[in-house]
Amino acid sequence: MLTALAQYDPQIYELIKQEGARQNGTIRLIPSENYVSKAVMSADGSCLTNKYSEGYPGKRYYEGQQVTDIIERLAQDRAKKLFKANHANIQPYSGSVANLAAYIALAEPGETIMGLALPHGGHITHGWKVSITGKIFKSIQYSVDSRTGRLDYNKIEELAKKHRPRIIISGATAYPREIDFEIFGNIAHEVGAYHISDIAHIAGLVVAGIHKSPVPYSDIVSTTTHKTLRGPRGGMLLCKAEHAKQVDKAVFPGLQGGPHMHTLTAIAVALAEADTPEFISYAKQIVKNSRAIAEKLLEYGFNLVSGGTDNHLILIDLRNKNVSAKKLAKALDRARIVANYNTIPDDPAPPFDPSGLRIGTPAITTRGIKQEQAQLVAELINKVTENVDNESVIEQVGKEVLLLCSQFPVPDHFIIPNRKSEADNKSNY
């Protein structure tokens, strides 16, 4: 495929090669990024991109669904098995659309939703004011405790009792601790609300049993498929059987037209990969690496929001380091370490130049990095923090990163057990 691209559009071919080299030659610490397997990549770049499949298996608005129906059912079955859910919808184009679809499935515009505020680690689509979710619904936002950096379930309960929302959203995009979905479920039950959990960041950790699954305690579980789950960029909804119809209707025709069948196909592959002992070891290593980095950063005098991590990410509060997070993120990028600047709870600084740096370990763990090298990564972050204006130190760190990258190349493919040929999946073509 790339040969055709090289011949037809050498400019784009060259840029793809450059991006591949960048991904190989950098330590990627953005917690929402990863490296997918060649199998996932092949499915994502396959002929399924050519197919329109509006509707759902068995009930489509276009003909020619002999194969796509089988693929979509496989994806649904794999998701249901992996997450022990009654129903799965694999069509959302992204996590943002999945979240909006989940709200629309259970609430009318104008009703109240309650989610974690963006500056406290919530996602923009959890009802933040600039998002459509904060405009069409009445949005109440809860926060983390300023002192501990952790969710205060008593306060959340108080707020829920006061506002009686239709939907309570649990889940986060920059929260380093385990979330107690059972308590969220209980609070929702107590106030007569629906509970929607967003596990976009931690889906892989849930699959591996490292974090407790929200499925038994949620009406709908929303997730992306590309972060710790290590699939292609996409979204997915899991729900109780009683909400299946509303969820499907909310995705199509409520919000979307035809699903992106190539993505859906690649998600099916990623779900099979996640259903293996190798994936469980991988997910466990993500957290070990994250903790190893956190420990080392603490030794270097960094302040971490909540004091550490239970998951794949760390939120560094840089205020005591007297360095702008944005400036540090850019210096790290020059040193081949890629992270993102991020707000911290009660951040006194503006969102475009906030006080926090967010880092995470899904991608470096896919490269095979273990605690020892993770600690080296922390050491390099510290070196750059102390030398943000010293280009020769930054260059030297860049060389050390390149060496590390060469020792831990991006794996060409992951070994997954031979899947039995699924004869009953034959489509007659």
Nearer to ligand DSN, 68 or 197 (CB): 197
User: Smallest gap, in angstroms, from Cβ of residue 330 to ligand DSN?
Assistant: 17
* Among positions 55, 95, 259, 345, the unique one binding ligand DSN when judged by CB under 6 A: 95
Nearer to ligand DSN, 95 or 234 (CB): 95
**Which listed residue (28, 51, 233, 358) is catalytic?**
233
Q: How many residues bind ligand DSN (CB under 6 A)?
A: 4
DSSP character string of 74-103:
HHHHHHHHHHT-SEEE---SSHHHHHHHHH
User: Smallest gap, in angstroms, from Cβ of residue 95 to ligand DSN?
Assistant: 5
- φ, ψ of residue 359 to 5 degrees: the values are -130, 160
Nearer to ligand DSN, 230 or 296 (CB): 230
Nearer to ligand DSN, 235 or 259 (CB): 235
Q: Whole-angstrom Cα distance, residue 414 to residue 416? A: 6
Q: Whole-angstrom Cα distance, residue 129 to residue 121? A: 14
Taking each helix axis as running N to C, give the angle between helix 325-334 and helix 391-407, from 0 to 180 degrees, rounded to the nearest 10.
60
**Which listed residue (44, 72, 157, 198) is catalytic?**
198
- Report which residue's Cβ sits closest to ligand DSN: 32
Q: Known catalytic residue: 182?
A: no
Q: Based on the shown chain and the rule CB under 6 A, indicate whether residue 354 belongs to the binding site for ligand DSN.
A: no
Q: Known catalytic residue: 276?
A: no
Q: Which of 232, 180, 238, 228 is nearest to 200 (CA)?
A: 228
Token duo for residue 16: 């793809």
Nearer to ligand DSN, 29 or 394 (CB): 29
Q: Whole-angstrom Cα distance, residue 117 to residue 125? A: 10
Q: Known catalytic residue: 54?
A: yes
Amino acid at 88: A
125-145 b/e (C-beta count within 10 Å ≥ 16 → b):
bbbbeebebbebbbbbbbbbe
Q: Whole-angstrom Cα distance, residue 171 to residue 197? A: 6
* Among positions 53, 133, 173, 223, the unique one binding ligand DSN when judged by CB under 6 A: 173
Q: Known catalytic residue: 9?
A: no
- Alpha carbon 150 to chain centroid, angstroms: 20
Q: Known catalytic residue: 198?
A: yes
Output DSSP code: residue 352: T
Q: Known catalytic residue: 62?
A: no
**Which listed residue (227, 291, 296, 358) is catalytic?**
227
Q: Whole-angstrom Cα distance, residue 37 to residue 367? A: 11
Residues 30-59 as x/- pattern, contact with ligand DSN by CB under 6 A: --x---------------------------
Active site residues: 52, 54, 198, 224, 227, 233
Residues near ligand DSN (CB under 6 A) are: 32, 95, 123, 173
